[in-house]
Amino acid sequence: MLAYLLVRAGEPAGFEELVNLLWPTDPPANATNILYQHAGALRRLVEPGLARNDPGLWLTRHGAAYQVGADAGSLDLLRFRELCRQARGRAARGDHVLAVEMWAQALDLWRGTCGEGLDSVNGIHPVFVAIDNERIAAAREAADVALRCSAASVMLPGLRRTAESHPLDESLQARLLACMAAEGNRAMALVAYEDFRARLSEEVGVEPGTEMSTIHGELLRDPASVAPAQLPPDLSVFTGRRAELARLTALLDTERPGPLIVTVDGMPGVGKSSLAVHWAHHVATRFPDGQVYLNLRGFGAHSLPMTADEAVRTLLESLGISDERTPRHYDAAVGMYRSILASRRLLLILDNVRDAGQVIDLLPGSPACTVIVTSRVRLGSLSANGAHVLSLGLPSHSDARELLRRRIGPGDIEMDGPALDEIVNRCDRLPLALALVAGRTVAGPEFSLPVIAKELRSAADALDALGNADIHSDLRAVFSWSYQALSTPAQRLLRLSSMIGGRTFSSAEAAGVTGGSLRETRVLLLELADSNVVTEVAPGRFLLHDLLRAYAAQLRGVGQPTGSALRSGDHSHPR
């Protein structure tokens, strides 16, 4: 009753109105007497010490009606209306900044919805709902003026509280997003949009309408944003891979309902990153919104793999969102990231991935985006979710030969001699090994191709001949990162597999050298194959690359390498 008298703002409320308020259906026969009792209790509450028959000053009776004596100095509702009236007058005269300040004062008077806590009227009774609508209308009007005069910061606190009280009012939420963006909080505005869209879908079952979609599109078309161009340099001597490059381009040209996602896997040193970067340079102009490159550090020397949280924050920074503008909560940061990419045509390379968990949340939903994921391991869960798989094998002998020729460059008299073919064979066509050979030839005339070929003839010396002071390209170190990611039983199987004669071996032969059951061995062989340490060339038959065989044999001979030795750059693997 008191709430109703207050929202009438000094206007009398008839007995019939009050009875219908207190008893919407089936009022008692003595309803009027009960009103008298309520009025007496209210008088004593607001004016302690009031005599029983004294009418009082604040709550008075006028015939069959009660009235609360109030003005703008004693009732927030009247003060709110007066401030809004003054604000509209100032705005009409062109004094927009002062008008916004008055609206901000008016909205600051609110502490929730009208009648909050009174379930029988809050959001239901038309008088209370009408006053809530006054607040919403004032917030919308004030936001529009604030945006025109660059005073959004003044309006944000009151506008945000109003929007929180009316979470499904799309027009109000859209203005909140616009004011947030105007104050440089574009990223937070995108997060707010995702929250509103999810709330609307869950509670009403619809998508945002035209007004919200329009402001969302404006947020995504940030005129101040610069398209990222983060591709590493293309390999000037890149050779071959014509079939793989053609397949990537064909996939890009195919219509699809979602983004193009391709996983490129293969053994260490086979050239996965080089292929991805080379193709990306070839098609870069087809992605006007930019090309983003991120090394997830899945396999490497000195650093731990990048966490998913670190990855999404790094990607947001690449897209122009500073760390202080990035939401602290991981899910909110992912929502912002996907919102930014929603209408962009962007190429994303996620390189050196440890497992699918690192990147599953980094995949955009926009069909205009393309993602290339490179990894030493097969990312089965990504392919199960629609990613195309490109397993990169060894180059052909002719391509490997040409790669070595181009890396060495013109001038070597042995370039067409038998030493070149022997080196290609001794390196078993592995691109990284060929690159290391080419690097040795520039050290001086004493490192000619015949000399290097002679070094490679001994399996024991092959890895020494392909060693490098740079731990990031030393062949043993590169192999060790894949080896250390294996389970202990799989590591043992790899070491013992080097004892099997012949270039390929069967599951039964592997079980024979380990002493395990055929079933257990098959599980471990699957782990090795998924890690691209061995290749399943036919059902139940596996191939171990010659250089990996040499690496495994050395491990079998001198024991497993220690982590500290690898981190320090010492690859001697002491007993």
Read off the pLDDT of residues 354-375 as tens digits, 9 standing for 90 and up. 999 999 999 998 888 999 999 9
Q: 333 and 310: one domain?
A: yes
pLDDT surpassing 90 at residue 74: no
> For position 558, what pLDDT does the model report?
47
- Sequence-distant (6+) residues with CB within 8 A of 528 are 486, 490, 493, 494, 534, 542
Per mean pLDDT, which range of 11-20, 243-252, 565-574 is the poorest?
A: 565-574
CB 519 within 8 A of CB 511: no
> For position 222, what pLDDT does the model report?
58
Q: Please report where in the chains the tokens 């009408």 appear, as a residue.
A: 130
**Residue 138 belongs to some domain of the structure:** no
CB 394 within 8 A of CB 373: no
CB 186 within 8 A of CB 178: no
Read off the pLDDT of residues 244-278 as tens digits, 9 standing for 90 and up. 999 999 999 998 888 999 999 999 999 999 999 99
CB 245 within 8 A of CB 373: no
**Residue 160 belongs to some domain of the structure:** no
Comparing 328 with 530, the larger pLDDT belongs to 530
Q: What is the mean pLDDT of residues 456-479?
A: 73
Q: 377 and 490: one domain?
A: no
**Bridge partner residues of 261 (DSSP):** 371
> For position 315, what pLDDT does the model report?
93
CB 492 within 8 A of CB 479: no
pLDDT surpassing 60 at residue 431: yes
Residue 74 tokens read as 């004693």
CA distances from 300 to 303, 374, 489 (A): 7, 14, 22
**Bridge partner residues of 68 (DSSP):** 59
Q: 360 and 258: one domain?
A: yes
Q: How confident is the model at residue 446 (pLDDT cuts 50, 70, 90)?
A: low
**Residue 164 belongs to some domain of the structure:** no
Q: What stretch of H or E contains 45?
A: helix 31-46
Domain boundary among 37, 68, 99: 68
pLDDT surpassing 90 at residue 106: yes
> For position 443, what pLDDT does the model report?
64
> For position 17, what pLDDT does the model report?
87
Cα-based torsion angle of the residue sequence 106, 109, 113, 114 in order, rounded to the nearest 10 degrees: -90
- Chain mean position to CA 377: 22
> For position 473, what pLDDT does the model report?
65
Write down the H helix ranges in 284-430: 308-318, 330-341, 380-384, 397-408, 418-426
E strand segments, 183-331: 260-265, 291-295
Structural domain harbouring 547: 478-568
> For position 410, what pLDDT does the model report?
66
Residue 393 tokens read as 């094998």
**Residue 86 belongs to some domain of the structure:** no
**Residue 547 belongs to some domain of the structure:** yes
E strand segments, 231-295: 260-265, 291-295
**Bridge partner residues of 348 (DSSP):** 292, 371
Q: In a 10 Å sphere around its CB, with 0-12 CB exposed, 13-18 middle and 19+ buried, how is residue 572 labelled?
A: exposed
pLDDT surpassing 50 at residue 569: no
> For position 216, what pLDDT does the model report?
84
Nearest to 332 by CA among 424, 441, 194, 232: 194
**Residue 214 belongs to some domain of the structure:** yes
pLDDT surpassing 80 at residue 566: no
Q: 251 and 304: one domain?
A: yes
Q: What is the mean pLDDT of residues 469-483?
A: 81
Q: What is the mean pLDDT of residues 98-102?
A: 94
Q: Quote the radius of gyration of the chain (alpha carbons, Å).
A: 37
> For position 415, what pLDDT does the model report?
59
Nearest to 222 by CA among 120, 382, 89, 342: 342
> For position 225, what pLDDT does the model report?
55
Nearest to 282 by CA among 249, 243, 247: 249
Q: 360 and 318: one domain?
A: yes
Q: In a 10 Å sphere around its CB, with 0-12 CB exposed, 13-18 middle and 19+ buried, how is residue 339 labelled?
A: buried
Q: Three-state SS for 374?
A: strand
Q: 291 and 373: one domain?
A: yes
Write the single-letter amino acid at 496.
L
CATH number at residue 275: 3.40.50.300
**Bridge partner residues of 229 (DSSP):** 291
CB 478 within 8 A of CB 266: no
**Residue 187 belongs to some domain of the structure:** yes
Q: CA 325, CA 549: separation in Å to the nearest integer? A: 50
pLDDT surpassing 60 at residue 380: yes
> For position 45, what pLDDT does the model report?
87
Domain boundary among 347, 373, 391: 391
CB 382 within 8 A of CB 360: yes
> For position 67, what pLDDT does the model report?
86
Per mean pLDDT, which range of 113-117, 184-188, 546-550 is the poorest?
A: 184-188
pLDDT surpassing 80 at residue 560: no
Domain boundary among 44, 68, 92: 68
Q: Please report where in the chains the tokens 């000195």 appear, as a residue.
A: 302
Nearest to 39 by CA among 9, 23, 18: 18
Q: 337 and 369: one domain?
A: yes
Average pLDDT of the chain is 86
Q: Which of 185-199, 227-241, 263-277, 407-421 has the highest mean pLDDT?
A: 263-277
E strand segments, 215-358: 260-265, 291-295, 347-353
> For position 302, what pLDDT does the model report?
67
CB 270 within 8 A of CB 430: yes
**Residue 303 belongs to some domain of the structure:** yes
Q: How confident is the model at residue 460 (pLDDT cuts 50, 70, 90)?
A: low
Q: How confident is the model at residue 459 (pLDDT cuts 50, 70, 90)?
A: low
Q: 374 and 411: one domain?
A: no
CB 533 within 8 A of CB 524: no
Q: 215 and 346: one domain?
A: no
Q: 247 and 387: one domain?
A: yes
Per mean pLDDT, which range of 152-156, 302-306, 339-343, 444-448 is the poorest?
A: 444-448
Q: Three-state SS for 443?
A: coil
Helix, strand, coil percentages (3-state) for the chain, rounded to 5, are 55, 10, 40
CB 301 within 8 A of CB 567: yes
**Bridge partner residues of 372 (DSSP):** 262, 349
Per mean pLDDT, which range of 229-233, 318-322, 558-562 is the poorest?
A: 558-562
Q: CA 460, CA 144: separation in Å to the nearest integer? A: 77
Number of neighbouring beta carbons within 10 Å of residue 72: 15
Q: CA 527, CA 507: separation in Å to the nearest integer? A: 13
Q: 246 and 367: one domain?
A: yes
Nearest to 182 by CA among 143, 141, 147, 220: 147
> For position 300, what pLDDT does the model report?
84
Quick one: three-class SS letters along 324-342? Answer: HHCCCCHHHHHHHHHHHHC
Q: 247 and 379: one domain?
A: yes
pLDDT surpassing 60 at residue 563: no
Q: What is the mean pLDDT of residues 496-513?
A: 91
Q: Give the number of domains in the chain.
A: 5
Q: What is the mean pLDDT of residues 522-536?
A: 94
